[in-house]
Amino acid sequence: MIFARVAGRITSTIHHPGLEGRSLLILDKLDRGGRPAGGSLIAVDTVGAGPGEMVLVLDEGNGARQILGGTDLPVRSVVVGIVDYLPD
């Protein structure tokens, strides 16, 4: 999994049928200290992550399809957890 922060969201009317009703978040990748590591990605939200929250992102297709259901979902990145804090 990778570590990221919610930076925004996108809306989309025309998309793959498997994404119907799914929430798409824009995430900034973070390093181990919670600082931006450069790069962003779009992931499907399954946990209700809010603006600015640190999240865990599963970045692998088979796991993503297991979580979301369906065998033909074109999704690799799924938000699977919200991080409370990073112990030192």
Q: Applying CB under 8 A, which residues contact another protein?
A: 6-16, 19, 24, 26, 28, 40-43, 51-52, 61, 64, 72-77
Neighbours of 20 (CB within 10 A): 7
Nearest distance from residue 17's CB to another protein, in Å?
A: 10
Q: How far apart are the two ends of the chain, measured CA to CA in Å?
A: 20
Contacts of residue 22, Cβ cutoff 8 Å, sequence gap at least 6? 44, 45, 68
- Closer by beta carbon to another protein, 8 or else 31: 8
Please identify which residue in the block is written with the tokens 């399954």.
Answer: 46
Q: Min. distance of Cβ 85 from another protein in angstroms?
A: 17
Is 7 within 8 Å of 30 (Cβ atoms)?
no
Q: Please identify, using beta-carbon distances, which residue of 17 and 87 lies nearer to another protein.
A: 17
**Distance of closest approach, residue 57 Cβ to another protein, in angstroms:** 11
